[in-house]
Structure formats: C-alpha cells, structure tokens
Amino acid sequence: MRKWAFWLAAIALLLVLQATLRGLIGAYYYQIVILVGINIILAVSLNLINGVTGQFSIGHAGFYAIGGYTSAALVYYGGASIRSALQFLPSLFQDTILLVVGLFAAAVLAGLAGLAVGIPSLRLRGDYLAIVTLGFGEIIRVFILNIDAIGGSRGFSGIPQLSNLFWVYLLVLATIITVRNLIRSSYGRAFISIRDDEIAAEAMGVDTTRYKVLSFVISSMFAGIAGGLFGHFTMYLHPNSFLFTTSFYLIIMIVVGGLGSIEGAVVGAILVTVTLEVFRGFGAFRLVNFAIVLILIMIYRPQGLVGKRYGYS
Amino acid sequence: MVLHRKTRTKNHNGKSTRPSGILPLGGFMTRKPWLILLCVVGVFALTSCTGAKSDSTSEIVIGEFGSLTGTTATFGISTKNGIDMAVDDLNKAGGLLGKKVRVIVEDDQGKPEEAQTVVTKLITKDQVMAVLGEVASSRTMAAAPVAQQNGIPLISPSSTNPKVTEIGDYIFRVCFIDPFQGLVMAKFAANTLKVKKVAILRDIKNDYSVGLAEVFADNFKKMGGNIVANESYSEGDTDFSAQLTSIKSKNPEAVFMPGYYTEVGLVVRQARKLGLNIPFMGGDGWDSPSLMEIGGEALNGSYYSNHFSVSDPSPKIQKFVADYKARYSVTPDALAGLGYDAASVLFDAIKRANSTDGAKVRDAIASTKDFDGITGKITIDKDRNAVKPAVVLQVKDGKLQYVETITP
Amino acid sequence: METFLQQLINGVSQGSAYALIALGYTMVYGVLRLINFAHSDVYMFGAFMGFYLANNEWIKTNLGTSPFTAVLVLLGAMALSAGVGILIERFAYRPGRGKSRFALAFWLGIAGAAAGQLVNASLASTLIGAAAGLSIGIALEKVGLRPAKENSRLALLIIAIGVSLFLENGGQQVFGADPKFFPQIIETKLLDVGPLRIDSQKLIVLGVAVVLMVLLNIIVNYTKTGKAMRAVSFNLDAAKLMGINTDRIIAFTFALGSALAGAGGILVSLLYPKIDPLMGIMPGLKAFVAAVLGGIGNITGAMLGGLILGMAEVMAVGYGESTYRDAIAFIILVLILLLKPTGIMGKGMIEKV
C-alpha cells in the first residue's frame, strides 16, 4: 500500500514540476536540471559496477552512446509506422509509448553491449579491466562514427523531443530505487562481497562470474536509458558527446561524491554538472580551475564528499 | 532444525547491520557534503541572478557561440575577431537604431551538446535578440533547433553543410554551401588544371570533409574525370604515410583534400617526402594563417577554394585586411571575414526591419540582396543560403595568390 | 612489394614514436602502480619547450643550426620536462599518497594567477593573484588542513586525470590553442635505397629512440638507483624497510619518465612538425596500449609494443579501411588483454590470498 502511495505522490509532484518549472526558472536552468537528472542516472549506474561491485570500468560513455543512438534510430525510422498503428490514441499517449519503446530498446541493446564487455572482463582485474573498458568505449564510438544511417560524423539530427523533466526524473527515481533495492538484496551482498574480496567470495561459493556480468548488464542498461533520454532531449546526437573524456567525467562524479554509495553518486553528479556550469564565468580558465578543484578534493578528501560505503558498519 | 536467517538489525556496538541506504536521512543531513552542495548551488544561483539583465532600452544584445577552446579553437577565435571588429566599427559609427550593440560570447569547447547548452543560455538567460555562430556544421546543427524553437534568428558565418539551414526558417548562413564548393573545385580541376585522374583524401571524422569530398567526386565524374583513390584519415592524425603511399601507387594527377588546415600542412609535407609531387587541392577549411606556417614550401603548387582573397585589390577588402592586422597583428583569414560579414548582414537587417523583433529581423535577413560584404556580394536565397562566388587561391613561392573566381 | 616495404618503414617510425612515450608509462606504472594520464601532456610540454628553445633568438644567432644545437635543444627540453614531472609528483601525486606540504599553496597560487590574469591581463595582476593564492594556501595549512592519509589508488587516478586536464587546458591558455610549426632543427635528407625512399630524419629518430632505450636499460639494471627503483616496484614497504628513500626514488622515476616523454615530444615533432596543446591525447592513449601490449612494467616490452602497434596501425590503414585507424589500437588492446593480459614480455602475476 505504501509503495503505491509513494509512486502516486511522486508522479503527481513530477507532473506539477513539469508544468511549472520551466516557466519559473527559464529554459537555461531547466536544461541544466535535466542534464543533472541524466547524469544522476549515469552516475548511479556507474557506481553499481565501480563502487558496489568493485569492477573498475571507465567505458560507460559507450553504453550511453549505444542507448542514445538506438532509441533515436528506432524513433526516427520506426516512429511513423508505430504512430500509424496507434492512431486511435491522443498524441500525448503516442509520444509516451514511442518514448517507452525507444528507451526499452535502448536498455536492451545497451544491456547486450554490457554483456559483450562483461564477459571478457571476467578474466581481468583492476587496471587491466579499466583499460579494456576504455578501449571498448572508444571502439563503440569509432564504429558509430562510421555508420552513415545514424549520421556518422555529421551527427544524428531530427530526433523528436520526447523526453522532459517528468520522464527524466521519473527514471531517476526508478534508477535510484532499483539500485537501492538491488544492493539491499542478496544480489547486493554478492556484489559487495566481490568488491571486498573476490577470492574469498569465490571460496565461499558466490558465483562471481554470474554476479559480475549481472552487474555490468544492469549498469549498462541504465546507461542506455540515460542515453535515450539525452538524445530525445537534445534532439541531436554526435559521437563527440561520447568521448572517453565523458567517461572520465562520470568517474569523477562518483569518486568526488564518494565511491560506493548512491548518495555519493547523486551528490557527485549534481556537484560536477553544476560546477562546470558555474565555472563558465571563468571563461577560458573554466576547465583549468575545474581541474585544480578536482585535484584538491582528491588530495584532501579522497573518500569523496559523502564518503560512505555500503557494507561497512 | 531450521536454519535461522539473521534477523538482528543492530550489532554489539549499536551500529546498524543493514547496508546503509538513503533512509534514514537523519544524521546524514547534518554532514558536510550537503553543506558543500548547498553552497555550490547557492553560488550558482547568486552568480546567475546578478548576471547583467540586458537593459534593452539602451543597448542591443546579440549572442555569439563558437569553439574558443578545443582542437578547432582557431576557427572560433578568428570568427570572434571578425565579429568584434564589426561590432566596434558599428558602435563607432553611431550604433544601431540609436543604441550600442553588445556581444555576449560563449565557448562551446568544440562539443555539440555544449553548443546547445550555451545557445540556450544566450537566448533564455541573456535574452539576446539574435545569435551568430558557428563554424563547424555539427555544432551549428546542435544549436540551431534551440534558436528556431525560440524564434531567434541565427546566422552562421561559415557552416557549409546544406542540412544546417534545413532546420528551420530562422536559420541562415552568409557563406556558400558544400554542394557549390565541391562543384567549384571539380570545375577547376577539370577545366583549369585539366586533370583526369584525382585521388581523394578526406577526414572521416569531419562531416564537412566527407560531404565536400562526395560532392567533388560526383561533379568531377560527371565532367568526365576519374577518382582513382578514396582514402581517409582522422582529424588529429599526424602520420599519413600509409594513405599517401597507397595513393601514390594509384598514379593520380592531383589530390583533393577537403580537410582542415591543421592536417593539410603535414599531409603535403609527407607527400613531398614520399615523392608525390602532384598538385593538392582543397576547400575553405584550408584557410588559416597557420597553413603556410605548417606546410611551408611543400604547399607550393596547391590550390584551394575560399570565400575571399586577401590579395584582392578591392579597397574594401584591403581596408579590412589593414584594420584587422592593426588590431590583431595577423592577417585575417576567411573565417574572420565571414564573421565580420555575418555581423554586418545582421546589423543591416535590423536597420531595414527598424526593430529587434525576432520575426521582423528574420524577414529582413531573408530579403538580403546584393549586400556588399567583405567576402563578396551576398544575396540570401529561398533556402536561406548565401549565393556568392568562390575564389580559387594558389600557393606560389610561399604566398597566396588569387587565381580565378567561379560564380554559381 | 615496394609499397609494402615503404609501409613497413612507415610502421617502424610510427612505432618508435609510440615506444618513446610508452617507456615513461611503463616505468611509472611499475613503480607506483599508477596509470599516469598526465604523461601524454608532459610529452606535449616537452614538444613546446623544444619549440621555444629552438626558436630562441639567442640560440639561433649564437649557435645556428647544427647537430650540436639539436642535441642542446633536446637535452634542454628533456630537463624541463623532467622538472615538470617532479613538480607534478611533488604537488599532485605525493599528496595523494598522504604527505605533502604546500600542495594547497601551489594549486591555489596557480588558481590565483589565473584569476589575476582574468581580472587584468597584466603581469602585475597575475603575480598579485598568485601571491594571494599562495598565502591563502599556506595559511590554511597552518590552520591544520592536511592531505588525507588514505592511500586510495582510485583517488590517485582521478588526480592524474585532473593534472592531465590542467595541463591540456592550461597549455591552451598559455601556449595558445592554435597549432604551431616545429622548427626543423635536424635537416632532412631523402636517401634513395634501391626502390625505397627513406627519410634520414626517420632513421635519426629511430636511432635516438634506441639510444635512449639502451640508456634507460643501463640506468635501471646496472646502477644503484636503478636497483632501488626495481626494489620499489617490487614491494614498496619492503624497500622502505631496507632503508631506501622511497619518496626520492619515486621522484627520480617520474623525472626519468618525464624526460623520456619530453624527448619523445621533440622527436615526434621533428617528424610531424605540427604541435598544439592537445597533441598528446591520442598518442598518449595509444602509447599506453603499447605499454600494456608489451607488458606493463617491462621496459623492453614497451619498445616492442610500440613498434608492433605502429606497424599494425600503418598496415591496417594502408591495406584496409583507414577510417578505423583509431579503433585498431583498441582492438589490439582488447585482444591482447583477452589472450595474454600480462602482455608479450610480462610475467604472470600470482595473486596472493
């Protein structure tokens, strides 16, 4: 009963915000709020694989990209036929279904990519895994660059704007709650055990293979959803938005916030996104100062601002 | 015997045994990170609120976006220089509609999503009445929908991909488009250089390069020519020996390389070292003061299409070159000239519309005819592209020389 | 056949470029287990130092263009790069290991200088800003703000990324974002050997790279400091217990690696004379792949990995699709890590329980 009440209240609140926020704070801040939401989804999902399962993955931008392009391609090329099949519904419902279908496809394809990356990862530890994931991220990007049907180096334009505050933050909630529940379950305990001591976990009978791959797949699915939301908001996708520097920024978010906890990921995502915007005032020195702040935070508080890890009492 | 699942929720020292989660939030709220977060958001809110709310009664505010940092920084900086000069010249001559013009510049770092964010900021937060930008078609295409949605006219000084203006009727450009530019060089190759076999070397990461190469190939083949090789590289590459060796083995009479000047210099050097001494041809992406610096003597005998030539004796161009040199200590390139023209066309349109209203200015821009710009006589056609001639320049004895003009 | 041989030569020269950078990566990783992302930017820094040195009026007029000048420029840039490496280690990585004084002052000083530069583009304003930042930093440290004692490897990695971002963007501000032309301090002669056309510059670069590798090998395997470096890379704590000043050895490793990166920057810029502040990113990434390919922590492996990677790239581009050039490096990477993760020359690591 309480779950229903919670979701009802959340949906109601989001609908209200959706209707009013843009008018209140202006399109610029509205856009920042949306980007923050998308980054939260990315950070929380990345945290699942890095902070909770302890697998060092720095190729998240690849799954982000796959999700974005998949959803965009599906809606762009298949949108007309899907719409004609749903002609009896009002346009708003058509858009909703279109978005849901797109995001679902994004999640599936990104999840498959996660499988493809996760399986080789079984054999690798630490830094080697990091490099492989980095490599995969770049390989994905270069391949997208060469596929003309989704724009390649021209970029994919003409994506209909289907996502908005409501959808982004609804999915933010869904992501956070799903990941939280996952962590509190036996799956979560398995993940944490793999992070803390993989050999001991294996010795205690935890099927590390299965859980590591599961972690990758779930994490990449959410990244795919974030990508879909991104594409449907900016209406234009270009491989330059998915460079390894993007992956680095995501890692920075979760580490600055505090590796291992959802709060950390959320705080980190908000902080980094907002800081980068605030620093626009510094003009040319924007990224220089961002780098300095980053270095100082890592020197003086390496456990991140929230600094809490699951599994520690 | 029942296996008892652990139900204790607290261990011996009172700490919870559950993995900590979002709730309870009690002690969490008083921790430092939230304070820091609040501070940052607060600073953000403050700095943004105190941002100069443009006083539209005393000045006209226009926005500009470009890549002032990143790999194509010189493009953004050149364009900015041109626009700044145009604004200053205008303000010195009394301004527009009795008011001074002010430009707010934002850096998109060469990233498409940044372009979109900054243009949104310019339009919705800074309340600009028009936007100038950008050089790279991919970034203009990311930002243009925002301008279109908000009814703010956007003029691109140098994006040549035809798809840019297709985004909406508020999007314009003051340069020619790639279909025309590709035709220009194809004509030049077939009729002036009289070559039949050409190899193409294009930048696969660059939509401008890919598009231009395609148009050139189509037109050149229609004129009876033959494309003997089609190689590619990536923006940022430094070694082209593999592609050049491959090209050499196909015996072309010339090479068409429609990329950015950043790679051209290196390519031509390496080509000469490999014994490939045929002429190289290119597009307006070659145009930059750094081209000659990097390419040196190897560039002699190369040609490229451009928007204007600094050695053109026309008094208007010479004055522009002299003023620019006095102000920035370098010779202007085509991007600076186009930046200047984009701003000038906008000012002219505002004057003719006698208002800063988006729709009126848009209509005025659309009806621009024979505007006397630095880069030629500009007429905006029904597709909101500029109809103007292109010049072909030759590198001879380390200098740029004008060869001919090709009209549409 | 002639094309094939030509491509082979191209591959070797491209590979020697990667090898030089890979050496630095592999050394630092061996000693600190840290992927020094900032390494590629020290490479860029070396190239720019060489640029400024070679264009220096005094040197040009007094020494002219001769092999002697070239060597001087090379050594000068290497020394400056080593200096930068030491600064980075001292003020970014060592605090990440929990100990440093004045790190805060250093960074705040730079931030202050940047702020001063923004306020008023004059030297005075910049210096005032720097002084302000320095004082705030020193004051904060006196009050008790100290680096965290935790030794988190991930935090070190983020610091490395931060330093890299700092050098790249700072370079764009200080050096200017536009590409510059690197002066040809070593003249190039085109030698015709049979059907092939060999660029003497490429041979010189390859030669210098080999010499540097040999020197490095001597230092690491035949000197006392080298022995200390090997000890530290084997087991940091045991080395400390044996009386080795690990901090100094680590600083030395950084200096050496950075000097090599700087040398790499100059040599590569001779072959491909375009330099810009972002020139290090791609070569850095690929050199890292090369280091892993050869077995990270292994010096000969780095050289080998570089050559193989260069060759593979050139062959793929020459005979296959040039559009996938960047992907080649990563595909090789993934393959190697799947088939033999410790690299060609690496030894299998037994993980102790």
pLDDT tens-digit readout, B180-197: 888 989 999 888 888 899
- C247 Cβ contact list (under 8 Å, min separation 6): C94, C99
DSSP 8-state symbol, C122: S
Work out the pLDDT band at B257, boundaries 50, 70, 90.
Answer: very high
The whole-number average pLDDT for the span C68-85 is: 89
User: Would the CB atoms of A303 and C289 count as touching at under 8 Å?
Assistant: no
A125 — pLDDT class (breaks 50, 70, 90): confident
Query: What does the alpha-carbon distance between residue A224 and residue A117 come to, in Å, rounded to a whole number?
Result: 14
Domain spans in chain C, listed from the N-terminal domain onward: 2-98+149-339, 101-146
Check whether B54 has a pLDDT greater than 50. Answer: no
**ipTM higher than the 0.90 cut:** no
**Contact flag B125-A278 (C-beta cutoff 8 Å):** no
Average pLDDT over residues A20-32: 81
User: What is the nearest CA distance from B73 to chain A, expressed in angstroms?
Assistant: 11
Residue C280 near residue C171, CB atoms below 8 Å: no
Q: What is the pLDDT of residue C55?
A: 83
Work out whether the CA dihedral C44, C50, C52, C55 comes out positive or negative: negative
Q: Quick one: average pLDDT of B314-334?
A: 88
Is residue B18 scored above 60 in pLDDT? Answer: no
Sheet containing strand B254-256, strands side by side: B226-233, B197-203, B254-256, B280-282, B303-306, B390-396, B399-406
Under DSSP, the state recorded for A207 is -
pLDDT, average across residues B381-397: 87
Q: How far is B257 from chain C (nearest CA, A)?
A: 15
Cα(C261)–Cα(B30) distance, integer angstroms = 47
pLDDT-based confidence at residue C65 (cuts at 50, 70, 90): low
Q: First vs last Cα of chain C: how many Å apart?
A: 54
Q: Identify the architecture of domain C2-98+149-339 in CATH.
A: Orthogonal Bundle (1.10)
Burial (CB count <10 Å: 0-12, 13-18, 19+), residue B127: middle
Residues in contact with C197: Cβ distance below 8 Å, sequence separation at least 6, in sequence order = B273, B274, B275, C6, C190, C191
Looking at 2.40.50, 1.25.40, 1.20.120, 1.10.3470, the CATH number of the domain A2-300 comes to 1.10.3470
Of A238, A235, A246, nearest to A159 (Cα)?
A235
Whether C181 has its CB under 8 Å from any CB of chain B: the answer is: yes
Task: Say if the Cβ atoms of C326 and A128 lie within 8 Å.
Answer: no
pLDDT at position C178:
77
- Which residues 171-230 on chain B approach chain A with CB closer than 8 angstroms? 204-207, 210-211
Q: Look at C161 and A120 and tell me if their CB atoms are within 8 Å.
A: no
Nearest to A228 by CA among A33, A26, A41, A14: A41
Query: Which residues are paired to B257 by β-bridges?
Result: none
Per-residue pLDDT at A143 exceeds 90: no
Q: Output the CA–CA distances (angstroms, integers) from residue C161 to A251, C43, C193, in the order listed.
A: 10, 15, 45
- Average pLDDT (C152-179) is 84
Closest residue to A184, CB basis, from B11, B21, B117: B21
Kindly calculate the radius of gyration of chain A based on its CA atoms and give it in whole angstroms: 19
User: Three-state SS string across chain B, please?
Assistant: CCCCCCCCCECCCCCECCCCCCCCCHHHHCCHHHHHHHHHHHHHHHHHHCCCCCCCCCEEEEEEEECCCCCCHHHHHHHHHHHHHHHHHHHHCCCECCEEEEEEEEECCCCHHHHHHHHHHHHHHCCCCCEECCCCHHHHHHHHHHHHHHCCCEEECCCCCCHHHHCCCCEEECCCCHHHHHHHHHHHHHHHCCCCEEEEEEECCCHHHHHHHHHHHHHHHHCCCEEEEEEEECCCCCCCHHHHHHHHCCCCCEEECCCCHHHHHHHHHHHHHCCCCCCEEECHHHCCHHHHHHHHHHHCCCEEEECCCCCCCCHHHHHHHHHHHHHHCCCCCHHHHHHHHHHHHHHHHHHHHCCCCHHHHHHHHHCCCCEEECCEEEEECCCCCEECCEEEEEEECCEEEEEEEECC
Chain B: give the shortest CA distance to residue C191, in Å: 10
Helix axes A126-146, C325-339, angle to 10 degrees: 150
Question: What's the pLDDT at B157?
Answer: 93
Cis peptide before B252 (omega within 30 of 0): no
Q: Residue A313: pLDDT band by 50, 70, 90 thresholds?
A: very low
| Inter-chain touch C330–A138, beta carbons under 8 Å | yes
Query: What is the residue whose two structure tokens read 């009013």?
Result: A20
C-alpha distances (whole Å) from A59 to each of A24, A270, B197 are 37, 21, 44
A282 to chain C, any CB pair closer than 8 A? The answer is yes
Please name the member of B43, B112, B137 whose beta carbon is closest to the beta carbon of A241: B112
Better-predicted residue by pLDDT, B137 or A282? B137
C273/B245 Cβ within 8 A: no
Cβ–Cβ contact C330 with A under 8 A: yes
- The shortest CB-CB distance from B47 to any of A270, A281, A313 is to A281
Residue B352 near chain C (CB below 8 Å): no
Give the pLDDT confidence score for residue C64 in this predicted structure.
65
pLDDT at position A215 is 92
Q: Do C172 and B233 touch (CB under 8 A)?
A: no
- Of A131, A139, A289, nearest to C337 by CB-CB distance is A131
Query: Stretch B49-75: mean pLDDT, rounded?
Result: 72
Length of chain B: 408
Q: Does C18 touch chain A (CB under 8 A)?
A: no
Percent of chain A exceeding pLDDT 70 equals 97
For testing contact with chain C, the best of B135, B201, B241, B269 (most C CBs within 10 A): B241
Q: Tell me the residue type at C132.
A: A
pLDDT at B133 over 60: yes
What is the pLDDT confidence band of residue C195, given thresholds at 50, 70 and 90?
A: low
Q: Does A257 contact B107 at a Cβ distance shorter than 8 Å?
A: no
Which subunits sit against A, judged by 3+ Cβ pairs under 8 A?
B, C
Check residue C2 and give its pLDDT: 66
Helix A262-278 × helix A165-184 angle, to 10° = 150
Mean pLDDT for the stretch of residues C296-302: 80
As given in the structure block, the two tokens for residue C203 are 């041979």
- If one compares A190 and A155, the residue with the highest pLDDT of the two is A190
pLDDT score of B9 more than 90: no
Tell me how close the Cα of B212 comes to any Cα of chain A, in angstroms: 12
Whether B262 and chain C come into contact, CB under 8 Å, resolves to yes
Helices (H) and strands (E) in chain A, counts: 11, 2
- Residue B311 CB contacts under 8 Å (≥ 6 apart), including other chains: B399, B400, B401, B402
Residue closest to B309 by CA, chosen among B357, B376, B398: B376
Nearest alpha-carbon partner for B337 in B86, B133, B70: B86
H-helix or E-strand spanning residue A157: strand A156-157
- Residues of chain A found within 8 Å of residue C169, distances taken between Cβ atoms: 285-288, 291
Least confident of B67-71, B377-381, C221-225: B67-71
* Distance between CA atoms of residues C150 and C170, nearest Å: 29
The answer, for A198 touching chain B at a CB cutoff of 8 Å, is no
* Residue in chain B nearest A27 by alpha carbon: B124
Task: Give CA B223 to chain center in angstroms.
Answer: 31
* Token output for C180: 């510059």
Say how many CB pairs under 8 Å bridge A and C.
Answer: 144
> Using the beta-carbon criterion (under 8 Å), do C111 and A289 form an inter-chain contact?
yes
Indicate if the pLDDT at residue B337 is higher than 50.
yes
Ordered by start, the domain boundaries in chain A are 2-300
CA of A283: which chain C residue's CA is closest?
C118
pLDDT score for B52:
45
| Residue A298 CA from chain centroid, whole number | 23
Q: Is B28 on the interface with A (CB under 8 A)?
A: yes
Is C345 strand, coil or helix? coil
How far is residue C198 CA from its own chain's centroid? 28
Domain architecture of chain B: domains with CATH: 59-176+314-389 (3.40.50.2300), 179-306 (3.40.50.2300)
Interface touch A267/B33, C-beta < 8 Å: yes
Inter-chain CB proximity B110 and A240 less than 8 Å: yes
CB contact under 8 A, A236 and B116: yes
- Per the CB < 8 A criterion, the answer to whether C13 and C264 are in contact is no
State whether C330 and A136 contact (CB < 8 Å): yes
Residue B11, pLDDT above cutoff 70 = no
Q: What percent of chain B shows pLDDT beyond 70?
A: 86
C-beta separation of B225 from C261 below 8 A: no
Half-sphere exposure of B195 (CA within 13 A, CB side): 22
Q: Do the chains contact at C323 and A146, CB–CB below 8 Å?
A: yes
Query: How far apart are the C-alpha atoms of C178 and B183, rounded to whole Å?
Result: 30
CB contact under 8 Å between A35 and B117, yes or no, is yes
Give the span between the Cα atoms of B56 and B99, in whole angstroms.
9
What pLDDT, on the 0 to 100 scale, is given for residue B20? Answer: 45
Cβ atoms B109, B77 nearer than 8 A: no
Asked if C273 lies within 8 A of B294 by C-beta distance, the reply is yes
Among all residues of chain B, which has the CA nearest to that of A146? Answer: B204
Q: Percent of chain A at pLDDT above 90? A: 30
Q: By the CB < 8 Å criterion, does C194 face chain B?
A: no
Sign of CA dihedral B240, B245, B249, B251: positive
Tokens (6 digits) for A84: 């004609």
Q: How far apart are CA A121 and CA A214, in angstroms?
A: 12
Cβ of C288 and A131 within 8 Å? yes
Residue B64 or residue A235, greater confidence: B64
Q: What is the pLDDT of residue B1?
A: 46
Closest-CA distance, C114 to chain A, in angstroms, reads 7
| Mean pLDDT in residue range C71-75 | 87
